[in-house]
Every structure is written in C-alpha cells, then in structure tokens.
Amino acid sequence: MKVLFDHGTPAPLRHHLPEHSVHRSAERGWELLDNGELIRKAEEDGYDVIVTTDQSIRHQQNLGGKRVGVVVLLATAWPRVQRRTAEIRAAIEEVENGEFREVPI
C-alpha cells in the first residue's frame, strides 16, 4: 500500500509500517500544500492513504468519490503515537477510499 505522511505525522512511525511504501509530504515537496491540494496530489500520484494529525481536515474536505482514504492521528507526540502503532497500522490497512478514520491516542 502506498502511504503519504502529512507534515505533522511523526516520521519514526514509518519504521513501524515496513510492509507499506511510506513517503513524507516534505520528501515530495508538498509540505506547504493546503489539505485539498495535498489530497489531489496524493490521488494523482497513486497514494492509497494519507496519514495526518490535522484534526480539522474532516470538516474542511469532502472525500466523496476520492480514491484515497485519510487516517487522522489524534495526537502528534511520538512517545504517545509509538504506543498505538498497532492501531494505526490497522486503521491504515482498513480505511476505505473516500473515508476518514480517526485513531484515538
């Protein structure tokens, strides 16, 4: 699965997703894009899932008809996120196209 981390997603999380192809928005030069443009670019480049810590994205964007899902982490601190890697991995693998899925942390 092709996964894109938004700029707020803790980078070390990628090491807990070895079965997926993970890229950071900064690696793509997309770290300054607004949410709508980031979703559009991710979809164009064949990403399956965007992982973000932006809790307002659900209220700003409509994913209806999109070929990408969004997993929202409800915390940004790596020590807290690290304790929930199994739940995050499950959310990434289970999120459907056009769906938002939140991971409480």
One pLDDT digit (tens) per residue for the chain, 105 residues: 999 999 999 999 999 999 999 999 999 999 999 999 999 999 999 999 999 999 989 888 888 888 999 999 999 999 999 999 999 999 999 999 999 999 998
DSSP state of 76: -
CB 43 within 8 Å of CB 63? no
| Gyration radius of the chain's alpha carbons | 12
CB 72 within 8 Å of CB 103? yes
Angle at 13 between CA 34 and CA 82, to 5 degrees: 120
Q: Is the pTM of this model over 0.85?
A: yes
Q: For the chain, which residues make up each domain, given as ranges?
A: 2-103
CB 105 within 8 Å of CB 84? yes
For residue 10, what are the contacts with CB-CB under 8 A and spacing of at least 6?
A: 76, 77, 78, 81, 82
CB 69 within 8 Å of CB 48? yes
